[in-house]
């Protein structure tokens, strides 16, 4: 019988740990954890996402600051705001909602955030720390960090002797996910669109992580019986059964058929998705603890 991981349930338990950690830090050091979110322009999806981040921050007992800037904001104005937040001791995490409207260039903005306040884990310094196995002082990108919580809850802290395959090599997910698995002693293969015999490579995996953005690409015969399958894809496909013009969300894994082979699987929606915001809150409270010279909680 396959175990379907309830991402909402796991995310809720992470949030409970964040709340108690934030309250303990305030009691111990008088420090309120602070998160600043910057959003530029009026993209409705971005606003909905930022709104949920800000609400969650307040629910965790953080000081939550949101800067909403018009689409015509200049690069130097945005850079100046980041510099101000870098210098603000009450702010422990800074997040710039991506994508930025054109012609703004996101890369220099992201890299200008102090690495210790980079709660999205996107700075080259944090990527480098992860690559060299420094999980003590770096911050890890939220989605792979969330996926790794699932892996640890299924297999424990030490993945020695297990084969892991990550399909996808993006800087945002594939590479950091592979590094996390490697740091936990798994034997890791990164597969991608140029990989030969992809299905064959996947069949070796005790832990298979799919993050390519191709709807239901991973079929049952790609999966080793008893494997753990983590689906990071979010794809919107037509759903004529729901009515004309209707759509539904599916992952990169053909959930129904892979569920007959895997021992553990994450659904889409409701799997990795809820973990992303939870791990953003976790990163922010970790950053606050470090700034206060305290040992941060483990997630």
Distance CA(170)–CA(182), nearest Å, equals: 16
Average pLDDT of every residue of the chain: 96
Closest CA to 9 of 270, 232, 212: 270
Sequence-separated contacts (24+) of 235-242 with Cβ below 8 Å: none
Distance CA(123)–CA(263), nearest Å, equals: 35
| Residues facing residue 243 across a β-bridge | none
Q: Is the pLDDT of residue 183 over 90?
A: yes
For the whole model, what pTM was predicted?
A: 0.94
pLDDT tens-digit series, residues 90-141 = 999 999 999 999 999 999 999 999 999 999 999 999 999 999 999 999 999 9
Q: Is the pLDDT of residue 207 over 90?
A: yes
Give the mean model confidence (pLDDT) for residues 239-255. Answer: 88
For the chain, give the percent of residues with pLDDT over 70: 100
> Domains in the chain and their CATH numbers?
29-132+275-291 (3.40.50.10860), 142-268 (3.40.50.720)
pLDDT tens-digit series, residues 157-177 = 999 999 999 999 999 999 999
Distance CA(51)–CA(53), nearest Å, equals: 5
| pLDDT given for residue 244 in this prediction | 82
Catalytic sites, residue numbers:
53, 97, 120
Strands (DSSP E) contained in the chain are 3-4, 34-40, 63-69, 93-96, 163-167, 187-191, 207-210, 228-231, 235-238, 247-250, 264-265
Q: Note the Cα 238 to chain centre separation in Å.
A: 26
Give the mean model confidence (pLDDT) for residues 204-231. Answer: 97
Distance CA(270)–CA(268), nearest Å, equals: 5
| pLDDT given for residue 241 in this prediction | 82
| pLDDT given for residue 245 in this prediction | 81
| pLDDT given for residue 131 in this prediction | 95
| pLDDT given for residue 87 in this prediction | 98
């Amino acid at each position: 019988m396959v175990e379907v991981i309830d991402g909402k349930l796991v995310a809720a338990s992470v949030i409970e740990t964040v709340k108690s950690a934030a309250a303990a830090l305030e009691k111990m050091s008088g420090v309120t954890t602070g998160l600043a979110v910057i959003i530029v322009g009026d993209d409705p999806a971005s606003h909905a996402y930022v709104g949920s981040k800000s609400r969650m921050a307040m629910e965790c007992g953080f000081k939550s600051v949101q800067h909403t800037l018009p689409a015509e904001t200049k690069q130097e104005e945005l850079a100046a705001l980041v510099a101000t937040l870098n210098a603000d001791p009450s702010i422990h995490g800074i997040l710039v909602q991506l994508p930025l409207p054109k012609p703004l260039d996101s890369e220099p903005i992201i890299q200008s955030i102090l690495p210790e306040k980079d709660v999205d884990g996107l700075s080259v310094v944090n990527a480098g720390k992860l690559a060299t196995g420094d999980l003590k002082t770096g911050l890890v990108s939220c989605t792979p960090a969330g996926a790794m919580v699932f892996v640890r809850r299924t297999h424990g802290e030490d993945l020695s002797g297990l084969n892991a395959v990550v399909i996808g090599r993006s800087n945002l997910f594939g590479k950091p996910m592979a590094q996390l698995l490697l740091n936990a002693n798994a034997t890791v293969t990164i597969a991608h669109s140029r990989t030969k015999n992809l299905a064959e490579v996947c069949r070796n995996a005790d832990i298979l992580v799919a993050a390519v953005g191709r709807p239901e690409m991973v079929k049952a015969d790609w999966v080793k019986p008893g494997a753990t399958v983590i689906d990071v894809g979010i794809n919107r496909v037509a759903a004529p059964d729901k009515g004309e013009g209707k759509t539904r969300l599916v992952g990169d894994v053909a959930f129904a058929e892979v569920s007959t082979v895997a021992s553990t699987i994450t659904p889409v929606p409701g799997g990795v998705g809820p973990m992303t915001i939870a791990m953003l809150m976790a990163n922010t409270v970790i950053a606050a603890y470090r700034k206060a010279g305290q040992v941060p909680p483990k997630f």
